[in-house]
Amino acid sequence: MASAAAPSPIPVASLSARRGKAIAGPRVAGPSTQPPRLFSRQCGPSAGIARRRRRLRAAASGSKVDPVEERVPVAPVPGVPSPPAEAQPQVSTGTWKWRGYNIRYQQAGTSGPALVLIHGFGANSDHWRKNIPVLAMENRVYAIDLIGYGYSDKPNPREIEANFYTFETWGEQLNDFCAEVVKSEAFFICNSIGGVVGLQAAVMEPQKCMGIVLLDISLRMLHIKKQPWFGKPFIKSFQSLLRNTIVGKLFFNAVATPESVKNILCQCYHDTSAVTDELVQIILQPGLDPGAVDVFLEFICYSGGPLPEELLPLVKCPVLVGWGEKDPWEPVELGRAYASFDAVEDFVVLPDVGHCPQDEAPELVNPLVESFVKRHS
């Protein structure tokens, strides 16, 4: 991935203490993101990464985020009782009726600002299991399964209104969730395509969003606007092949296995020791529900709709962008361009982390979110 150094449009915070050097400023690279390759990388030992990764905490300093290394805990003194650890709030699961469909969500915390956590493509609210109880210590935390994903209903796109599974639909779902369940304005904490959902919702109803944290937001490199003119007919033909022939379902069946899911996760997680059997089941199990295949094919054939760079100029609330340094799907070199938007107050590089920082490195993400929320509450 060739790139040339360029001056940063705004200060860039980089959590790079464990690497012993600062990460270079913004670079510009040509489009390179491709659809996930199912078997290109096998899960392997990650002990070296685990040993190198020190627990870092992000602390607010003025209006920016500075990296602070957490001290190694002191061993308990024999005969001196340790202070009791503060119990984390219990996480509960609920069902919300939206437009006649059942929507699953999780909730924890009883006081403080509201946070709504929004998952990425193929995931669900369980992908935030390492964040919900921690963030709920000082906040009211909600994590939602977008319609079509997780354990929310999956209406067949062929049997309902045209263009149902769009960012506009999910943006409306998120805003209605804030109005009917959260019952207040909220911060949106988003990963991957969830970032586009959060931006879309904030543009549609600005009064409902207090701020947005974007973790490795999808660059939507397969969007029709980002394709060369000569490639557009081939894209449409390929989409038609997936939607209207047995090829699409065969492709889904090849993906929807424990082995394939594990291999895909090992591509996007830099520390593959985080790709546990539990995580594989979290992602796979809802994908085996009736209707999941149709939603899957509908979305991978969705090459229209908004781009992040089209939504960011319209956002009125503060935005913090966090990016895994080792994200192979959404390269940080391309993500740095988002630091130039007026709404973005920080661009934070997360070292040795892949596409899903909230799950791979919650010890980095949770303090980052907490400091951002405190600054803007």
- What DSSP string runs through 196-246? HHHHHHHHH-GGGEEEEEEES----TTSGGGS-GGGHHHHHHHHHHHHHSH
Q: Is the pLDDT of residue 182 over 50?
A: yes
| pLDDT score, position 208 | 96
Name the least confident of 51-55, 123-127, 229-233, 254-258.
51-55
| 57, 367 Cβ separation under 8 angstroms | yes
If phi > 0 it is left, if psi is from -120 to 50 it is alpha, else beta; for residue 187 that is beta
Q: Is the pLDDT of residue 55 over 70?
A: no
Average pLDDT over residues 283-294: 89
| pLDDT score, position 322 | 97
How far apart, in whole angstroms, are the C-alpha atoms of residue 62 and residue 47?
36
| pLDDT score, position 310 | 95
How far apart, in whole angstroms, are the C-alpha atoms of residue 354 and residue 23?
15
List phi, psi (to 5°) of 219.
Answer: -80, -10
Q: Is the pLDDT of residue 85 over 80?
A: no
92-376: what CATH class? Answer: alpha beta
Q: Is the pLDDT of residue 301 over 80?
A: no
Residues facing 209 on adjacent strands: 186
| pLDDT score, position 319 | 98
- Domain edges within the chain: 92-376
List phi, psi (to 5°) of 189.
Answer: -110, 115
Distances (CA, A) of 137 to 87, 184, 370: 9, 18, 10
| pLDDT score, position 46 | 53
Distance in angstroms between the alpha carbons of the first and the last residue of the chain: 39
List phi, psi (to 5°) of 214.
Answer: -105, 115
Q: What is the chain's Cα-based Rg? A: 20
Residues facing 215 on adjacent strands: 191, 322
